[in-house]
């Protein structure tokens, strides 16, 4: 894994100000896909054609209206899809992760040998499997990616040209990817202002099961638990700032998180089990009124979180290179 | 329980613009106690004497410097404490909840018959027991209270005159409290801009175990779990906005939360057990790749949280009276 420093990232941004492409085809022009299109145009000045592919006209019409894409194609229109994919430099799949496999199967028959396909899913082992199954020998054309840039809002109206500035993007290259393909995808994300990191799909799924997928499940579970209480209304009426922050992620898309939980099932179950053990230990300490154990654990957490919060500054001073 | 509407609260604020006291003695002049003193002076124009009591000079000197209190007394100085408590209208105990019992025992020998004692602890059953044990027949002078107004920062430097504006304060009156005592404490908090609610100590502790104490434990537990992972540093380095919000409350005071967990042990254990069951159910659904069950639960949570977020507006339109 490589952590480019922010200074390095800025240097790359200068280099890639001239980042260009002839044709970018985005499957799913919402927050993530729309923000990429806007960033490439409005930040790096790329002038290539951006084609949006959607399941319904409604889903792509708004992107057309906003000028985020140049043309719109319906997913089930064979001829339009073939035309859209012909000569494309890049394909980005930016849809709930359960759609990665069917979309790759849909793309496969029309995939140009020169096209690099990447995705923006929150889980990567499943994307790798999907690519190998759908693309076979051409899986080398697929470079798995994950921009870490969620927002509470979704849809193309929420897309921003600076969504990725100073955000992390993780690439999980396949052994068969050419270095050039990986570099091209990295350059695309660097052009949006993001920092680009690499790790294996396995490692990625473990890390994000822990720091992202598990917290989402825990947050949804708290709201579910309160809903089941006979005095739920009273409880909600006194929920305050702590509850608000803790459950902000429970406002996330149910469809997206359903897919993530299932796609990253193995790693997530490992994290849930480890978490349940820690919680059981805390429960024991509370039951035993073991103030010393509780205070020590809470102090460890507070300190770790405080170090983490200062991490931005520490990273910026780091001068490791890509 | 009574929910005064905001309109009603504004009406009360007009009435209590003239809220006054001769002497207020605050045990623990930090964020909560200091903000009360500042609110009463700077918002309601009260001119009474404010005495701060602390365990060390250091803890009260800063409050004196900032003009938050008029005089400072050391907790172990019998004569000064006796003098401070003579003729006091109000005593506020604003310290970690494990100190409520020892502070009440310390106050008892010097307590004037006209003084109303109240507190600001996050747990109320333990405060009631402490008052009955320390004050005996004079427990009627103790009106248990809980201002819902935490901040990440603490200490008197973080105290604000408007900390309580539009916040909730819960009072849990004892059967032996006179209506006048309860009204006087309510008037004091209304003068700070807060809304005042009443419920039993039992009900209070159940509600806050669920919407406040449990989320704190869950948040501390997540950070603890990540710390125990062999790749903790890597995990923290990719933690993003969702993690930040979910763990904001894990930056809270370890001492305060140790005390809360133990003081509200029974209710908190009930909530931890109920939560563990919900999490186990989510685990089963994930293990079974039961997308429908997951999506339905996540959707319920998202909807409930969205209704809750709009609750402020709904409550403001409510016209129930105190």
Residue A214 in contact with residue A251, Cβ under 8 Å? Answer: no
- Confidence band for B315, pLDDT divided at 50, 70 and 90: very low
* B5 pLDDT more than 50: no
pLDDT digits (tens, 9 = 90+) for B49-105: 999 999 998 889 999 999 999 999 999 999 999 999 999 999 999 999 999 999 999
Residue B67 in contact with residue B78, Cβ under 8 Å? Answer: no
Contacts of residue A7, Cβ cutoff 8 Å, sequence gap at least 6: A316, A319
Cα–Cα separations (whole angstroms), residue A100 to A93, A94, A144, A248, B112: 7, 8, 11, 27, 73
Mutual angle of helices A125-135 and A100-107, in 10-degree steps: 30
Across residues B162-183, what is the average pLDDT?
97
Q: Please work out, in degrees rounded to the nearest 5, the angle formed at the alpha carbon of residue A306 by the alpha carbons of A304 and A310.
A: 115
Phi, psi torsion values for B170, nearest 5 degrees = -105, 130
* A24 pLDDT more than 70: yes
CB-CB: which of A170, A211, A236 is closest to B311? A236
Task: Dig out the tokens for B261 from the structure.
Answer: 């967990």
CA-based nearest residue in chain B for residue A273: B283
- pLDDT at site A46: 86
Q: CATH top-level class for B6-199?
A: alpha beta
Q: In what order do the strands lie in the sheet with B23-27?
A: B71-74, B49-54, B23-27, B90-93, B116-119, B142-143
Nearest Cα to Cα of residue B4 among B169, B120, B122: B169
Residues of chain A with CATH 1.10.3660.10: 204-287
Strands A90-93 and A168-171: unpaired
- pLDDT at site A47: 87
Question: A294 — contact with chain B (CB < 8 Å)?
Answer: yes
Residue B119 in contact with residue B99, Cβ under 8 Å? Answer: no
Nearest Cα to Cα of residue B145 among B83, B106, B192, B211: B192
* B171 pLDDT more than 90: yes
* A80 pLDDT more than 50: yes
Across residues A278-298, what is the average pLDDT?
98
From chain B, the residues in CB contact with A223 under 8 A are: 300-301, 304-305
Please say whether the dihedral angle defined by the alpha carbons of residues A199, A202, A203 and A205, taken in this order, is positive or negative.
positive
pLDDT digits (tens, 9 = 90+) for A31-53: 999 999 999 999 888 889 999 99
Say if the ipTM goes beyond 0.90.
Answer: no
CB contact under 8 A, A240 and B278: no
Alpha helices in A125-246 (DSSP H): 125-135, 179-190, 201-208, 214-228, 232-238, 241-246
From chain A, the residues in CB contact with B4 under 8 A are: none
CB contact under 8 A, B279 and A216: no
* B7 pLDDT more than 50: no
High-pLDDT (> 70) share of chain B, % = 90
CB contact under 8 A, B1 and A206: no
Residue B94 in contact with residue B100, Cβ under 8 Å? Answer: no
Residues of chain B with CATH 3.40.50.720: 6-199
| A155 SS3 class | coil
pLDDT digits (tens, 9 = 90+) for B92-151: 999 999 999 999 999 999 999 999 999 999 999 999 999 999 999 999 999 999 999 976
- Confidence band for A302, pLDDT divided at 50, 70 and 90: very high
| CATH placement of domain A204-287 | 1.10.3660.10
Beta bridge partners of B93: B27, B119
Across residues B178-185, what is the average pLDDT?
97
pLDDT digits (tens, 9 = 90+) for A98-155: 999 999 999 999 999 999 999 999 999 999 999 999 999 999 999 999 999 976 678 9
pLDDT digits (tens, 9 = 90+) for A184-196: 999 999 999 999 9
Q: How many CA atoms are closer than 13 Å to the CA of B129, on its beta-carbon side?
A: 10
CB contact under 8 A, B300 and A240: no
- Confidence band for A182, pLDDT divided at 50, 70 and 90: very high
Across residues A253-273, what is the average pLDDT?
97
Q: Which of A114-118, B238-242, B279-283 has the lowest mean pLDDT?
A: B238-242
Question: A240 — contact with chain B (CB < 8 Å)?
Answer: yes
Q: How far apart are CA A318 and CA A310, in angstroms?
A: 13
Q: How far apart are CA B125 and CA B98, in angstroms?
A: 12
CB-CB: which of B217, B218, B308 is closest to A239? B308
Task: Dig out the tokens for A215 from the structure.
Answer: 């917290």
Q: How many CA atoms are closer than 13 Å to the CA of A281, on its beta-carbon side?
A: 16
Q: How far apart are CA A80 and CA A85, in angstroms?
A: 9
CB-CB: which of B1, B211, B217 is closest to A243? B211
From chain A, the residues in CB contact with B163 under 8 A are: none
- pLDDT at site A38: 96
How many beta carbons lie within 10 A of that of residue B264, not counting itself? 27
CB contact under 8 A, A221 and B252: no
How many beta carbons lie within 10 A of that of residue B100, not counting itself? 28
- pLDDT at site A16: 46
* B243 pLDDT more than 90: yes
* B278 pLDDT more than 90: yes
Contacts of residue B240, Cβ cutoff 8 Å, sequence gap at least 6: A148, A150, A167, A168, A211, A212
Question: A239 — contact with chain B (CB < 8 Å)?
Answer: yes
- pLDDT at site A58: 87
From chain B, the residues in CB contact with A250 under 8 A are: 298, 301-302, 305
Contacts of residue B50, Cβ cutoff 8 Å, sequence gap at least 6: B23, B24, B25, B26, B37, B40, B41, B68, B69, B70
């Amino acid at each position: 894994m490589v952590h480019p420093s922010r200074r390095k990232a800025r240097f790359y941004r200068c280099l890639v100000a001239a980042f260009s492409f002839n044709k970018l085809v985005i499957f799913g022009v919402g927050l993530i896909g729309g923000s990429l299109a806007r960033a490439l145009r409005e930040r790096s000045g790329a002038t290539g054609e951006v084609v949006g592919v959607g399941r319904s006209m409604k889903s792509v019409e708004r992107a057309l209206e906003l000028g985020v894409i140049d043309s719109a194609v319906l997913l089930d229109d064979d001829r339009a899809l073939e035309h859209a994919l012909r000569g494309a430099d890049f394909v980005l799949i930016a849809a709930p992760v359960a759609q990665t496999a069917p979309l790759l199967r849909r793309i496969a028959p029309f995939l140009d040998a020169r096209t690099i396909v990447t995705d923006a899913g929150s889980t990567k082992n499943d994307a790798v499997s999907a690519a190998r199954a759908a693309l076979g020998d051409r899986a080398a054309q697929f470079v798995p990616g994950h921009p870490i840039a969620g927002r509470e809002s979704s849809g193309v109206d929420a897309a921003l040209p600076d969504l990725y500035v100073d955000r992390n993007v993780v690439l999980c290259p396949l052994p068969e990817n050419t270095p050039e393909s990986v570099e091209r995808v990295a350059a695309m994300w660097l052009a949006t202002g993001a920092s680009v990191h690499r790790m294996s799909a396995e490692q990625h799924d473990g890390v994000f099961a822990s720091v992202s997928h598990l917290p989402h499940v825990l947050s949804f579970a708290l709201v579910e638990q309160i809903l089941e209480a006979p005095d739920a209304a009273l409880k909600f009426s006194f929920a305050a700032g702590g509850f608000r922050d803790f459950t902000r992620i429970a406002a996330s898309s149910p469809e997206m998180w359903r897919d993530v939980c299932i796609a990253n099932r193995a790693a997530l179950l490992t994290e849930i089990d480890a978490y349940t053990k820690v919680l059981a230990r805390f429960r024991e300490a509370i039951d035993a009124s073991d103030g010393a154990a509780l205070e020590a654990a809470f102090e460890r957490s507070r300190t770790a979180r405080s170090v983490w919060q200062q991490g931005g500054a520490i990273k910026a001073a780091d001068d490791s290179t890509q």
